[in-house]
């Protein structure tokens, strides 16, 4: 007769290793892209993820060398155009040259063992937090590819301003809502 311990050991041995990270919070970041993936979440909903390593930041909650991910819901109204805008920002590709083949080359699928062609790209990410109508918080990220020699924000000054304000993340009230169509 098998024990509970054996059952749990088999369960753990058969599981895949999780590589979870944190998500962007309000702030400005210099990141290096580690991978870009497309996958189905646990609810079988299509998602795109850009996984990064923080090189510098204004957010004290996500210090240098933190792993951070940006997840986009591909089944939302804005999801596909959000990813297309990211590709445009990272590659400078004209809108009509962002084809299915280009997207498939950039984003790695669940069954692929390769790393995205964006691996090693650097970007400046500005993350804003916004309340949703459902009472949650939505984080919008604006991406700009960074190349050596480009101007960088003064991260030390930004960190100092955040610390002196005593506010690690911006919180807005329902009165601050605008007409953006956030799908939740």
Nearest-angstrom CA–CA distance, 177 and 97: 35
Do the Cβ atoms of 182 and 138 come closer than 8 Å?
A: yes
Q: What per-residue confidence (pLDDT) applies to 102?
A: 93
Which token pair is 106?
Answer: 């950039």
Nearest-angstrom CA–CA distance, 146 and 133: 34
Q: What per-residue confidence (pLDDT) applies to 20?
A: 59
Do the Cβ atoms of 107 and 38 come closer than 8 Å?
A: yes
pTM attached to this predicted model: 0.76
Q: What per-residue confidence (pLDDT) applies to 168?
A: 46
Task: Extract the residue ranges of the chain whose pLDDT is less than 50.
Answer: 167-184
Strands 27-40 and 46-57: antiparallel
Nearest-angstrom CA–CA distance, 128 and 169: 9
Q: What per-residue confidence (pLDDT) applies to 180?
A: 43
Show the CA angle centred on residue 126, arms to residues 173 and 54, nearest 5°: 120
pLDDT tens digits for 76-98? 889 999 999 999 999 999 999 99
Burial group, residue 80, by CB count within 10 angstroms (0-12, 13-18, 19+): middle
Query: What's the residue count for the chain?
Result: 184
In degrees and rounded to multiples of 5, residue 11 shows phi and psi of -60, -45
Give me the sign of the Cα torsion angle 90, 93, 96, 99. Answer: negative
């Amino acid at each position: 007769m098998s024990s509970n311990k054996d059952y749990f050991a088999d369960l753990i041995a058969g599981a895949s290793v999780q590589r979870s990270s944190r998500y962007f919070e309000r702030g400005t970041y210099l990141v290096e892209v580690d991978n870009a993936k497309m996958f189905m979440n646990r609810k079988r909903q299509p998602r795109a993820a850009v996984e990064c390593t923080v090189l510098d930041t204004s957010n004290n909650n996500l210090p240098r060398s933190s792993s951070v991910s940006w997840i986009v819901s591909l089944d939302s109204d804005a999801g596909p155009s959000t990813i297309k805008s990211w590709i445009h920002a990272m590659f400078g590709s004209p809108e009509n040259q962002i084809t299915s083949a280009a997207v498939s080359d950039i984003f790695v699928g669940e069954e692929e063992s390769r790393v995205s062609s964006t691996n090693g790209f650097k970007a400046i990410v500005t993350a804003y937090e916004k309340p949703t109508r459902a009472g949650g918080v939505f984080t919008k990220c604006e991406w700009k590819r960074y190349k050596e020699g480009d101007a960088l924000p003064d991260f030390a000054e930004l960190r100092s301003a955040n610390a002196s304000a005593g506010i690690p993340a911006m919180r807005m009230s329902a009165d601050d809502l605008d007409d953006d169509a956030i799908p939740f």
